[in-house]
Structure 1
């Protein structure tokens, strides 16, 4: 069997009955894909999602995978593709597809007439290790997040020493909004995940402020691409990304399980323009 290097895309696949990996191998062979599928079956997963270079798409499709989303030019001149294989036909059935389509159409069509408003990014700041407990508390109370390992304070602290950083907003000595940024030096990209706003300060531009701060910060780095996934029926978050000129890259069908319900996830990405 071909050896391959893989990185988990979600830290809690068991919760979602999902095997999700980025495969760095240049050329995928059938034996490797069979091994991945066997591993998924052994773990009682009902979906496999692989992030690979576009050049591997033919091998995936000939093995029963279907392309669900893309990130343009993530790998230098090659697109990243997200290809899925369903090991249980029931997981293919997207019950809320009409709602997802309606929300997406609405947020994109309304972006055309949107005038960008500058928010006060001084409200936001880069978090440090002493903030881990406050971040964990915020995440634990947010049902819209789908990587709930972040409720764990020690894991948040540990991630800060690696490739993750967090941006937060404080109110009355409490962290009321936060986003987790995962850096990938190999692709000069960042993955925005776990953007959370406390319920009592929602609809006050907190998410927009976080994204503004992150974009402003990343423009001063070597990062070239920023991408994000959000639950397809989260109207507010999809709207924020569309208004920040993120491009819709597809929908990951029934990707995650939140409160015992399957939810699809929208893929958004943005190339950073650096006039420096």
Structure 2
């Protein structure tokens, strides 16, 4: 059965059309691009939400477009340098419900951010393993990867517990690296590549609880970065759970810079959570 994967669709407006991604699981709409009047686009998007299943509309825009969106209730949540063909991309969001824009764990999240930033000047030392093998993932790993993600996350923003989705991702510009012990995959991470804009999202980071604390995720990020450098990607970014010290520290250690926080952006581990954006411009 083919999965309900958010894909770009085109909707008509009174003055033009808009390209959007409707994500029912995360209850959000991404406005990718549009022609015509933005007020007509917003009216159409609100109409799409008559059932109340969408709590957030967001877009990634250029600096000069910010006033246009702010006048229509959007706020700036994050910035990623060189995100749009070498120009900075600004993540702007409009919340459709009061609950969706309320952050419940801000004190704890600020503490995580403070701790993470203490690591930004550390030099990353690539660990050498005798018990683990680091390698590229292949299509045949999809079943085992699905088991890994299903065991690590109660819920996840994308259906990573479905091998069909993982195979689909591998065939659509998503590169996975894995760590295995005794031929069992115990840790994995991926790079979701955007060849048009030369950016890549470092994502799908998971390690079995019994294998944490060995620097496996840091090594996988390191390996993905090297591959992306060879492919001439310009900027890398990641969204890490704001409440998770471990993943925020991993990216801070690898010289990623904090770019902002996306409020209630993903449904992960059984609830909506804020996501910190970390950014690294490759030389």
TM-score (norm 1): 0.89
Is 1:183 matched with 2:197? no
How far apart are residue 256 of structure 1 and its match? 2.1
Counterparts of 1:25 and 1:91, CA distance in 2: 25
The 8 Å contact of residues 17 and 36 in structure 2, kept in 1 or not, is answered as no
How far apart are residue 179 of structure 1 and its match? 1.1
Structure ranking higher in helix proportion: 1
Is 1:222 matched with 2:232? yes
Q: Please, what is the CA RMSD of the aligned residues?
A: 2.1
How far apart are residue 25 of structure 1 and its match? 4.2
Counterparts of 2:228 and 2:135, CA distance in 1: 13
Is 1:159 matched with 2:139? no
Q: List runs of 5+ in structure 1 lacking aligned partners.
A: none
2:3 alignment counterpart: none
1:40 alignment counterpart: 49
The 8 Å contact of residues 45 and 87 in structure 1, kept in 2 or not, is answered as yes
How far apart are residue 267 of structure 1 and its match? 0.7
The 8 Å contact of residues 178 and 189 in structure 2, kept in 1 or not, is answered as yes
How far apart are residue 7 of structure 1 and its match? 4.6
The 8 Å contact of residues 26 and 56 in structure 1, kept in 2 or not, is answered as no
How far apart are residue 27 of structure 1 and its match? 7.9
Matches within 5 A, 1:130-141: 130-141=140-151
Residue from 6, 9, 16 that aligns with 1:2 = 16
Counterparts of 2:268 and 2:215, CA distance in 1: 25
The 8 Å contact of residues 28 and 56 in structure 1, kept in 2 or not, is answered as no
TM-score (norm 2): 0.87
The 8 Å contact of residues 71 and 80 in structure 1, kept in 2 or not, is answered as yes
Matches within 5 A, 1:1-276: 1-7=15-21, 13-19=23-29, 21=30, 23-25=32-34, 29-42=38-51, 44-112=53-121, 114-120=122-128, 123-143=133-153, 146-273=156-283
User: Tell me, what secondary structure is at the counterpart of 2:115?
Assistant: helix
User: Bigger shift: 196-205 or 143-152?
Assistant: 143-152
How far apart are residue 117 of structure 1 and its match? 1.3
The 8 Å contact of residues 236 and 279 in structure 2, kept in 1 or not, is answered as yes
How far apart are residue 40 of structure 1 and its match? 3.4
Aligned residues: 267
Counterparts of 1:133 and 1:256, CA distance in 2: 24
User: Bigger shift: 153-162 or 25-34?
Assistant: 25-34
Counterparts of 1:73 and 1:249, CA distance in 2: 12
User: Measured at CA, do residues 120 and 6 of structure 1 come closer, stay the same or move farther in structure 2, by a change above 3 Å?
Assistant: farther
